Amino acid sequence: MMRPSMRKTDQIRPVSMETGVNKWAEGSCLIKMGGTQVLCTASVEMNQPLWKRIQNKTGGWVTAEYSMLPRANGTRKGRETLMKDHRSAEISRLIGRAMRSVVDMDKLGRHTITIDCDVIQADGGTRCAAVTGGYVALVLAVRWLIDAGRIRENPIRDYVAAISAGLWNGELILDLDYDEDCVAEMDSNFVVSGDGKFIEIQATGEQHPFDRDQISKLMDMASAGCKKLIELQKRVLE
C-alpha cells in the first residue's frame, strides 16, 4: 500500500538543519524533518550541576529539556498542561542519555550544557528530530567552549542521530509521519551513533506483539536512515 506521503518504505522525509538561529545560545539548530520542526539550543553554564558539586564529582554534565509549543499540534494545548506533561519528561531524559553517551565528561570540564528542544510544529518523529538537531547544537556549544579557551580537547567522541520506524498496514516503514504513526501496528525509535552502534531502542507493539525478525529488519532500516542523517550533520557542521 502506498504511504500517504508517496514515499518508499525505507525513504526518509526531506531533512534540513539550519545553525546559528538563536544569537544568544552558544549552539543552536533548527531541524525540519518533513512537517516536523524543532528548535534546538545548547546553553553553557560555567559550573557543574549542584548534585555533582555536592558529591565532589569530577567533570561536567549534559542534560536536556523537551517541550511542545501550544499550537505545535492540530489542537492547541495550554502551557499549564504542557508543563505537567510526563511524555515531555520522558523524552527529555532520552535526549540527555543520547548526548551523554558520546561525551567525555572529564574533558568537558566543570561545565553544564543544557539542550533545549522546543517543537514548533509536530508531524511525527519529534523526539528523533530533537535528538538529531540537539546533537548539532551540542557540537556548536562545545566549539564555543574550545574557542573561549575554557576546554582544551573536544569531549565529543562520536555523532548521534535518531529515527523512527514501525509496522504500518502490514509493511515495515521508516521515518513515520503523523498519519502513519497514529495508526501504526508497531512503533519504534532508534538512537544510533556514528559508528553504527545502537545507543537506545524504544519499541512497542501497538496492536499486537512483534517478533525478532521484524525488529531486526527495522534496526537495519534505522541504521541506514541514521547514516543519512549523520552525513547531513557532518555537512552542516563543516
Which of 58-62, 168-172, 203-207 is least confident? 203-207
Do residues 74 and 178 make contact, with C-beta atoms less than 8 angstroms apart?
Answer: no
Q: What is the pLDDT of residues 157-167, one digit of tens each?
A: 999 999 999 99
| Sheet architecture: strand order including 198-205 | 171-174, 160-168, 186-193, 198-205
Q: Which grid cell sits at 40?
A: 534546538
- Provide the phi-psi class of 11: left if phi over 0, else alpha when psi is between -120 and 50, else beta: beta
Query: What CATH number matches the domain at 15-236, 3.30.230.70, 1.10.260.40, 3.40.190.10, 3.50.30.50?
Result: 3.30.230.70
Averaged confidence pLDDT in the chain: 95
| Single pTM value for the model | 0.94
pLDDT the model gives residue 82: 62
Residue 84 has pLDDT above 70, yes or no: no
pLDDT the model gives residue 86: 87
Q: Which of 237, 238, 26 has its CA nearest to residue 151?
A: 26
pLDDT the model gives residue 218: 97
pLDDT the model gives residue 77: 80
Q: Which residues contact 92 (CB under 8 A, 6 or more apart)?
A: 64, 65, 66
Report the amino acid identity of residue 107: K
User: β-pairing, 112-121 with 61-68?
Assistant: parallel
Residue 72 has pLDDT above 90, yes or no: no
Place of cell 546559528: 20
pLDDT band at 83 (very low <50, low <70, confident <90, very high): low
CB atoms within 10 A of CB 156: 19
Angle, alpha carbons 79-126-139 (nearest 5°): 105
Q: What is the pLDDT of residues 118-140, one digit of tens each?
A: 999 999 999 999 999 999 999 99
pLDDT band at 70 (very low <50, low <70, confident <90, very high): confident
Q: Which residues contact 210 (CB under 8 A, 6 or more apart)?
A: 167, 186, 203
pLDDT the model gives residue 128: 98
Q: Using CA atoms, how far apart are residues 156 and 2, in angstroms rounded to an integer?
A: 40
Residue 237 has pLDDT above 70, yes or no: yes
Angle of helix 212-236 relative to helix 126-147, nearest 10 degrees, comes to: 40
Q: Which grid cell sits at 199?
A: 545507543
**Average pLDDT for 225-230:** 98
How far is C-alpha 69 from the chain's CA centre? Answer: 17
| Sheet architecture: strand order including 15-19 | 15-19, 27-33, 36-45, 112-121, 61-68
